[in-house]
Amino acid sequence: MKRQRHEVVVDLINRYDIETQEELAAYLREEGFDVTQATVSRDIRELKLSKIATGNGKQKYIILKNDDSHLGDKFIRVLRDGFVSMSMAQNILVIKTVQGMAMAVAAAIDAMKFPEIVGCIAGDDTIMAAVKSVDDTMIVMEKINKILEGK
């Protein structure tokens, strides 16, 4: 039921300039869905709808396309271009980079959202990544090695 409603929401916002949750709820009711404001609000959040200006002083809901595949490629390229070596110090992963590339490589690693990494600190050519545990540090090293090898 929810998936079907989400499909209808997407269709509606592509067909009409819908400005408010109330408008969206009214359209959904016309389509046969018995929805509350809370349901519509949840659907908007789950579908990651955003509002944009329509140029006439109003706004409308849109779906932001989340095609991050090109971004992933960009981050992988930055990691590969800047990486020199890595060493483990308990749950700290120390990554050496080409001079001046540590911040870019750290940003790429952060963007890859490894669940094991709590955060990164970057200098000029060195990154310290705080990892949740010693075991997780080894997992991250394996993941980075696979990225570097192109797997």
- Chain-wide mean pLDDT for the chain? 90
DSSP label at residue 91: T
pLDDT tens digits for range 92-143: 999 999 999 999 999 999 988 899 999 999 999 999 999 999 999 999 999 9
Q: Tell me, what's the pLDDT at 71?
A: 54
Class of domain 2-63 (CATH, top level): mainly alpha
Query: Which residues, 6 or more positions from 96, have their beta carbon under 8 angstroms from its beta carbon?
Result: 84, 85, 86, 87, 125, 126
> In the predicted model, is pLDDT for residue 144 greater than 90?
yes
Question: pTM above 0.85?
Answer: no
Q: Name the fold adopted by 69-149.
A: Gyrase A; domain 2 (3.30.1360)
Would you kindly state where each structural domain of the chain is located, as residue ranges? 2-63, 69-149
